Structure 1
Amino acid sequence: MPTPRKRATSQDVATLAGVSRATVSMVLNDRTEGTVSEETRKRVLEAAKTLQYTRSRAALTLREKHTRTIGIISDEIMTSPWAGRMLRAANQAAHERGYFTLSMDRSIEGITQESAIHTLLEREVDGLMIATMGAVHVRVEPGAAPIPIALLNCFNTCAPASSTPPPDFTAEERLTQEEGPTVTVTGPTLFPEFGPDDYQGGFRAAQRLIDVGHERIAMFTGDDVVIAKRARDAGFFDACREAGIKPRFVSAGWELDDGFRAGSRVLAEPFNRRPTGIFCIRDRVAAGLLQAAAVAGVNVPHDLSVIGFDDEDYFAERLTPPLTTIALPHIEMGRAAMSALIDEIEQPKSVVPDRSVFTCPLVERQTVARPKGLS
């Protein structure tokens, strides 16, 4: 059996490069400006590569007082090709700052938020991120952990002393721009919170249908009372009310089959009564509606305009026709949450705990047109 190869040390690198250990340290920690020549720097890096030298994480931890590790507690978001964008963006932001992540999935039987926090603290993570696939309430007590915490796509039911939690959805300005996302800040909160402005997204969807001339407008909404449903319903309703239009709400659900069933019912109504524009609470519901329209011989967008919500990866743009939708700013939310968490780790008290609400931009494709009879 071959003898395991001895791990190279910084002294080995120094000997091979013909420099001191202090010079090796400066080069590997990228602190060479004005102290180490470019020729020497390259010689040290080449020696480290030849010896396959890697710095000791344990030594770095002792020196820096940090493990440069972030704990992420999530739910089934990990297996979602849609909301998983948030975690991918958060991980990318961590990597760019020299951190790596440890994840625990609360959807696994036996793993709770409390046990996950305890387990990750045992591994000496520097910070904790709690992330959820859908915008939901979580309960994180003030003393839940002695390290920085950030909440991604969820809202804490615990508020700072002498205050109440900010509303689940707010948007001081009704944005009509499509450049987004921009961020509205509300607060205060116990920990930094990062979420989508579902209210503004619902408002923007109705506004788009109204802008092209639709007056018979409906929304295929969810069949529950979750935060996203309430926020999108409210935004849609307010935009219609401001335009003097009475919207119609159809309780559908959240899946493709729900959209197909609701669409089949509505499209069977007489032409002069059924909606000419429909906003669906989710892209998958919109996909079901597009199927129902194809079966009923209803042309989208000439006979019916459709808008979805999510802009799900590899889905909305591949529908026939490609779906106009409101995008969830998952990538921006994930990056912002991780960046704020690391900022607080590296500079305690530098991050103000409040709620950052990200605009949901309109993604224009091919399912919205002016209603028949309007030029």
Structure 2
Amino acid sequence: MSRAKNPTMAEVAAVAGVSHQTVSRVINGSSEVRQATRERVEAAIDQLGYRRNRAARALVTNRSGLIGVITVGAALYGPTSALTAIEESARSHGYLTLFASVTDDSGTQFRSVLDDFLDHAVEAVVVIAAREPLLDHAAAATPGVPLVVIGPRPGQVADALCLNIDQDAGGRLAVEHLVGLGHRRIALLHGPERSVDAEQRQAGALAACAAHGVRPTEYRGDWSVGSGYLTGSSIVALPAADRPTAVVAANDQMALGLMAAFREHGTAVPDDISVVGFDDAPEAAYYSPPLTSVRQDFRALGALVVDTLLDCIRGGSPAPSLLAPTLTVRVSTAPPTGRAA
């Protein structure tokens, strides 16, 4: 059975009693249409079941309305949240996102995905560079369309706009908070090596420790709850005199593992040891106890990325930018007590 013909924009205009151009402005989100007129057009669209033909639009305007996003294959909180925020912001501007993940550090998948995106005439490309190899691939890429890289600090990738939340500043915030509470014996649970965000958080935390004369105990995790649990078990096994009074975990998942190990071994948070996480994931407020964490505003990051790309598409020259993180203070941190000092 043949499918019913999609109503045309002219038919929408006729039902709404407006011009074809007015319907086009409403569909493309123009602010030049009065609210009453917009509502009349939207009612006509709903009545007729009109759907915009993107293929026809691309032929007429030479614009596909597509943005390609490349990220790593792992379902990590940060990259996933950034991807979601970009998709939502792009959609609010009338763009759709093509998404692909790569797991091959050699660059073969990256180049293949980029070629596929260009075959679909994407107007811009975003690379969420959670791992260092993606930085090299992004630096070598010449897609011929605007390219934004999320992860590195501005200037780290030549000829690419670098945007991110300031991970270095986040690491500093966590340590400064603990030092301000009176902690001097601080442990740092870093993320995995070759992780772009982990290395920056580590650098910021170490710089803050050095500024305050703190010599931290350092551990290496892999972002997982399990690695946090193993680290927590190692900490409680230390002699009391060598045990830190506070720990900064490079993400909330590892902080959850830390607190599980502390609880299992009778070490109270924050009475015996304080814990700070990173990300301020939605569930962090419901940890036991609720977790103090460095908050990243991914919605703001998504809006920044899309606004920057649209500026580039229109011929602008936006500058690289970093968004400032904030610290959400909850129950998991407190001044060191007699037991923890």
Q: Determine which of 107, 123, 135 is the counterpart of 1:126.
A: 123
Q: In the alignment, which residue of structure 1 is the partner of 2:218? A: 249
Q: Determine which of 238, 245, 248 is the counterpart of 1:276.
A: 245
Q: Higher helix fraction: Structure 1 or Structure 2?
A: 2
Shift of 1:14: 5.4
Give the partner amino acid of 1:144.
Answer: T
Distance 1:323 1:307 in 2: 7
Q: In the alignment, which residue of structure 2 is the partner of 1:372? A: 337
Gaps of 5+ in 1: 156-167, 169-184
Q: Determine which of 141, 162, 185 is the counterpart of 1:216.
A: 185
| 2:304 corresponds to 1:336 | yes
Distance 2:109 2:138 in 1: 12
Moved more, 266-275 or 100-109: 100-109
Cα-to-partner distance string for 1:7-49 (whole Å, 9 max, x where unaligned):
33344445656x6xx8233244248969x9968x776655544
Change (3 A) 1:206 1:122: same
Moved more, 264-273 or 123-132: 264-273
Cα-to-partner distance string for 1:150-194 (whole Å, 9 max, x where unaligned):
1122x4xxxxxxxxxxxx5xxxxxxxxxxxxxxxx6678412111
The answer to whether the 8 Å contact 2:71/2:79 transfers is: no
Shift of 1:305: 0.8
Q: In the alignment, which residue of structure 2 is the partner of 1:150? A: 148
- 1:25-64 paired onto structure 2 within 5 Å: 25-30=21-26, 46-64=43-61
Q: Determine which of 74, 84, 87 is the counterpart of 1:88.
A: 84
Cα-to-partner distance string for 1:285-342 (whole Å, 9 max, x where unaligned):
222221121122111101111111222343x222211111122343322221121112
Distance 2:32 2:180 in 1: 57
Q: Determine which of 174, 180, 203 is the counterpart of 1:205.
A: 174
The answer to whether the 8 Å contact 1:303/1:371 transfers is: yes
2:317 counterpart SS class: coil
1:140 counterpart SS class: helix
Q: In the alignment, which residue of structure 2 is the partner of 1:178? A: none
Q: In the alignment, which residue of structure 2 is the partner of 1:180? A: none
The answer to whether the 8 Å contact 1:191/1:353 transfers is: no
Give the partner amino acid of 1:368.
Answer: T
Q: Output the TM-score relative to the length of structure 2.
A: 0.84
Gaps of 5+ in 2: none
Distance 1:94 1:312 in 2: 23
2:183 counterpart SS class: coil
Moved more, 103-112 or 230-239: 103-112
Shift of 1:72: 1.5
The answer to whether the 8 Å contact 1:307/1:367 transfers is: yes
Distance 1:283 1:38 in 2: 47
Distance 2:240 2:233 in 1: 13
| 2:321 corresponds to 1:352 | no
- 1:286-301 paired onto structure 2 within 5 Å: 286-301=255-270
Shift of 1:149: 1.4
Give the partner amino acid of 2:333.
Answer: V
Q: Give % identity.
A: 27
Structure with larger Rg: 1
Shift of 1:101: 1.3
Give the partner amino acid of 1:231.
Answer: Q
Q: In the alignment, which residue of structure 2 is the partner of 1:177? A: none
1:272 counterpart SS class: helix
Q: In the alignment, which residue of structure 2 is the partner of 1:66? A: 63
The answer to whether the 8 Å contact 1:189/1:353 transfers is: no
Q: In the alignment, which residue of structure 2 is the partner of 1:161? A: none
Change (3 A) 1:212 1:127: same
Distance 1:4 1:234 in 2: 59
Moved more, 88-97 or 137-146: 137-146
Change (3 A) 1:66 1:258: same
Change (3 A) 1:366 1:59: same
Number of aligned residue pairs: 335
The answer to whether the 8 Å contact 2:6/2:50 transfers is: yes
